[in-house]
Amino acid sequence: MVTSFHMSLPCLSVRDTKKFYTSIGASIGRSTQSWVDINLFGHQITFIKAGKFNFNSPNYVFEGKILPSFHFGVVIDLDAWNEVYAKFKDQDLELVDKTTFLKDNIGEHTSFFVNDPNDYMLEFKSFKNPSDVFKS
């Protein structure tokens, strides 16, 4: 069975949120002036205009890299990952540059992070072996 996730988050600007996500190839679903559904690689994120939400979660360290403890993202194949990464590199955005984690181990994956216009940290990751996503 193929499944997808749904997440609902507050946003600062529906217009800016649409612009950001469509610039990387996501599509727009239903929307009004106060909310928008984004199709991000088959996953539904609903952004609701509600102002800035305060996440006071600390960062954490994984394999020597400081990463945001609050983030969300998608697991995609390497071709799609490279395409999205190139789109972001062409824009004037602050990226947490690509890093390969768990090199030569179960779960090896390459990731990068970027802030969306609502200050959410979005992660894109691609596993060397897609079957490793949930292996321990």
Side by side, the strands of the sheet bearing 43-49 are: 6-11, 43-49, 35-40, 27-31
Name which CATH class applies to 6-132: alpha beta
**Cβ 38 vs Cβ 26: under 8 Å:** yes
Per-residue pLDDT of 66-125, as tens digits, reads 777 678 889 999 999 999 999 888 887 777 778 999 999 999 999 998 888 888 888 999
Per-residue pLDDT of 22-67, as tens digits, reads 998 999 998 889 889 899 998 989 898 887 766 666 677 778 887 7
Name the 3-class secondary structure at 29: strand
Residue boundaries of the structural domains of the chain? 6-132
Phi, psi angle pair for 26, to nearest 5°: -70, 155
DSSP 8-state class, residue 58: P
Rounded Cα distance, 28 and 66, in Å: 32
